[in-house]
């Protein structure tokens, strides 16, 4: 009888986790519909995933809304500046023949630096009360301290994206929370270490 109870308990725990991840992904998609709010939505998702992994998430919608509203300006402006950087790189890469081979190759380190900053940004804005440019600078510094892990996390996210393209249910309901969990395990320890060193 107790073995059956344990199996039911594990099943309910797994189903609760699946429900929470689905709900967080739907919230992220809805709150990101105006493209400019993707930064605030990313911060909200990062905060909810952090709370979920710590066992502190009880009200998904209220928590998401709380993190979405908090530091809205900083997270939105930071994301828009990163988006501008990505757009410049894409424009440069589409005109690579007119730029020349050397200038085209310079875009690779720029992409890596944008990616490094992007991966750390949600947790930097979540943990520190900084202005937009200081948040970007700190995300860039911490990302470069952790560059090998971030490249590994990006590779893992890419593999999950490729798999989820074959299984659209994963893409629609689970992709963003899964990537946020990967960010948590690959990026958040660096932030905790820096916060611990500064206190």
What are the domain boundaries of the chain?
A: 2-198
Rounded Cα distance, 81 and 18, in Å:
33
Q: Give the pLDDT score at 99.
A: 63
Q: Which residues contact 83 (CB under 8 A, 6 or more apart)?
A: 38
Q: Give the pLDDT score at 97.
A: 66
Q: Give the pLDDT score at 100.
A: 67
pLDDT values of the chain reduced to their tens digit, one per residue, 199 residues: 455 555 568 888 888 888 898 999 999 999 999 888 999 999 999 999 999 988 888 888 999 999 999 889 999 999 999 999 888 888 877 776 666 667 767 777 888 888 888 888 888 888 888 888 898 888 888 888 888 888 888 888 888 888 888 888 877 788 888 888 888 888 888 888 887 776 5
Q: Give the pLDDT score at 1.
A: 44
144: three-class secondary structure by DSSP? helix
Contact 146, 191 (CB under 8 A): no
CA distances from 91 to 94, 95, 100, 107, 182 (A): 5, 6, 14, 10, 29
Residue 54, CB-side half-sphere exposure with 13 Å CA sphere: 11
| Residue from 155, 164, 180 nearest 21 by CA | 180
Q: Dig out the tokens for 91 from the structure.
A: 């424009």
End-to-end C-alpha distance for the chain, whole angstroms = 50
């Amino acid at each position: 009888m107790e073995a059956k109870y344990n199996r039911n308990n594990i099943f309910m725990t797994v189903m609760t986790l699946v429900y929470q991840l689905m709900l967080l992904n739907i919230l992220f998609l809805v709150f990101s519909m105006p493209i400019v709010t993707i930064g605030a939505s990313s911060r909200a998702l990062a905060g909810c995933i952090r709370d979920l992994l710590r066992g502190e998430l009880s009200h998904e919608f209220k928590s998401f809304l709380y993190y979405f509203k908090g530091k809205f300006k900083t997270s939105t402006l930071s994301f828009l500046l990163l988006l501008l950087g990505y757009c410049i790189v894409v424009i440069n890469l589409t005109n690579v023949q007119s730029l020349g081979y050397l200038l085209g190759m310079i875009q690779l380190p720029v992409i890596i630096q944008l990616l490094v900053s992007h991966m750390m940004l949600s947790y930097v804005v979540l943990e520190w009360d900084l202005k937009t440019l200081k948040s970007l600078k700190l995300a860039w510094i911490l990302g470069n301290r952790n560059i090998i892990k971030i490249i590994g996390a990006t590779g893992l996210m890419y593999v999950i994206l490729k798999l989820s393209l074959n299984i659209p249910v994963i893409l629609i309901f689970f992709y963003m929370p899964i990537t946020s969990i990967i960010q948590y395990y690959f990026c958040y320890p660096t932030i905790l270490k820096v916060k611990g060193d500064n206190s």
